[in-house]
Amino acid sequence: MKEIIAKQILIPAKDPTQWFDIHYNINLYRGCLHGCIYCDSRSTCYHLDDFEVIELKVNALEILRQELASKQRKSTLGTGSMSDPYNVFEKDMLYTRQALQIISDFSFPIHINTKSTLILRDIDLLNKINQRTMASVAISFSTVDDELAAKLEPQAPSPSERLKAIRQLNEAGIYTGILFTPVLPFITDDTESVRKMVDRAAEAGAKYIITWFGVSLRDGSREYFYSKLPTLDEKLVDLYKSTFGTQYSCLSPDRDLLWDAFVQSCSAKGIAYQMSDVKTYSKMNFIEQLTIF
């Protein structure tokens, strides 16, 4: 792990309405050790010399407290967009846990994206935030097949473990769902995989599933992804190159069929699948205000 100094922690989001009503993103760490072969954060545009070296912003908590103290509006904060806030070092460093305590102290809502089951450690703080505003969680999946996940996400907790975490979070009263993304063309883009994802999500009590039937590839992440594809199938590299070239958004050729199957499955299970239907703090406030009037 490498220690670095940060100048700013709250990074304004471009369009809060598109992603869980998040107005400010927080990244206490840079880099990740989950080893996901498709991760867009490996892209050279993010200027990380070695994505698998975790960088800790050692002054992050002090800055976070200062920045939250200066905000008058209790806008939703988000973490996990670039690097998982529950990386292997967080178990001992406790920066994410301390940040949640600060967020609770200032009564800000928080949305967390993660692949790690370590988030279960902080259920007490998530509940504390819930008592004042709102804490929500999205657990990320590319597949619910443990054997395939071991090749796609070799250092992350297994899908089975993540599904158990979703169940525990929901049972604790934390609004929790799934990011089913990426859906990898020619690897996981079939209706059976989609329906299986929805079935497992429903069994775990997931409140929503947000998906995208494709994968983003650009300089840096594309080369790494291609270097790992032969471990799945030797023909995949040529197939990707001939189908997508150097495109950024590599969409599944079967995306329309997959979307129909996804919508039917989610509707049958009562699971939200549009961001507009996912509960956020702003929507809660609006409903409360209507109730008052």
Q: What is the pTM of this model?
A: 0.94
Query: Domain 2-292 falls in which CATH fold?
Result: pyruvate-formate lyase- activating enzyme (3.80.30)
> How far is it, in rounded angstroms, from Cα 33 to Cα 156?
8
Q: Which residues contact 234 (CB under 8 A, 6 or more apart)?
A: none
Q: Which residues contact 37 (CB under 8 A, 6 or more apart)?
A: 151, 152, 153, 224, 225, 228, 229
Mean predicted confidence (pLDDT) in 226-230: 97
Beta bridge partners of 79: 26, 112
Mean predicted confidence (pLDDT) in 27-38: 95
Domain ranges in the chain are 2-292
Q: What does the pLDDT look like over 165-206, one tens digit per residue?
A: 999 999 999 999 999 999 999 999 999 999 999 999 999 999
> How far is it, in rounded angstroms, from Cα 281 to Cα 253?
36
Q: What does the pLDDT look like over 80-117, one tens digit per residue?
A: 988 999 999 999 999 999 999 999 999 999 999 999 99
Q: What does the pLDDT look like over 138-148, one tens digit per residue?
A: 999 999 999 99
Q: Inform me whether the pLDDT recorded for 45 exceeds 90.
A: no
Beta bridge partners of 251: 214
